Every structure is written in C-alpha cells, then in structure tokens.
Amino acid sequence: MTIRQYIEQLKTSKDLNQNTDLENSVAKIEGFQFRMENLFENQKLNPEILSKIEQILNLIFIKEENTNSCFANSEEVRSEYKQSFKIFDLLDYVNAFTHSSFYKESHQISIGTETTFFWEMVKIGSDLRKSEK
C-alpha cells in the first residue's frame, strides 16, 4: 500500500464497532492537537506539525521507508526502547485515532507525551488498516 492509498483509505474508512480500550485511552490524552487535513501540505508532511510531534514524543522521524540503521529501531524491539518513527507509524496512529468518538466529535487528533500510548495506537491503527483491505 502506498502512502497516497493509505491517506485515501483514512478519508473513506468505514465506521467500525467501538473499541472500548481505544475510547478509554483517547479520552485521557491531553496534548498537542491538529486536524488530519493539516497533516499534509503540498502533498508532503507539514514540517511544523511533524516537528511538534517529534518534540512531544521525544522520538526522531525517519523519512526513508526502508531505513533500519540499528537494532533499536527494529520492529522486534519493545516500544519503550524505540527511538524513532516512520510515516506509516504516524499514519497508523492517525488511523486508530480517527476511529474514536473523540475524533468524530472534534475532528482533532491529539498527541500526548506517552510514547507507550503512541505505539499502542500505532498497533491498533495497523490492525485496522489490515482488516479494512
């Protein structure tokens, strides 16, 4: 799946059954908020939003899709040890968030400081993406 296809899927995703864990987690987030349509500008990631996400999570954004320069960034490493994230991680996070009732009411995506929560949401979003194919 390409990034463009994923973004189109996000825009047209079906309303799935509510995930109680997702709802409870999203309700607790207090942090930076942005609208999904502002995440990209001129078909590129908005650098201001991306920079803010990096600061809040204290993670480095890796632009290259197939970069895995050290074991600390491997998919097999527990989330609390990961030091970076990629575009599909961010899109999976957004995907999970867009399935919450908070998003449906506010049309805002929140990023909190808990990296563990970020990676949990990435996992939920990834699972949703795979189930919507």
Top-confidence residue, 129 or 77: 129
Q: Tell me, what's the pLDDT at 73?
A: 47
Whether the per-residue pLDDT at 125 is higher than 80: the answer is: yes
**pLDDT score of 49:** 95
Render pLDDT for 32-74 as a digit per residue (tens, 0 to 9).
999 988 998 888 899 999 999 999 999 999 987 554 555 444 5
Q: Residues of the chain with pLDDT > 90: what percent?
A: 34
Mean pLDDT, all residues of the chain: 79
Amino acid occupying residue 40: F
CA distances from 129 to 28, 66, 77, 123 (A): 24, 19, 21, 10
Q: Which pLDDT score, from 0 to 100, does residue 88 have?
A: 92
* Of 23, 29, 31, the residue nearest 55 (C-alpha): 31
107/97 Cα distance (integer angstroms): 10
Radius of gyration for the alpha carbons in the chain, expressed in angstroms and rounded: 14
Name the pTM for this structure. Answer: 0.76
**pLDDT (tens digit, 9 = 90+) per residue, 85-101?**
999 999 999 999 888 88
Residue 128 has a pLDDT of: 87
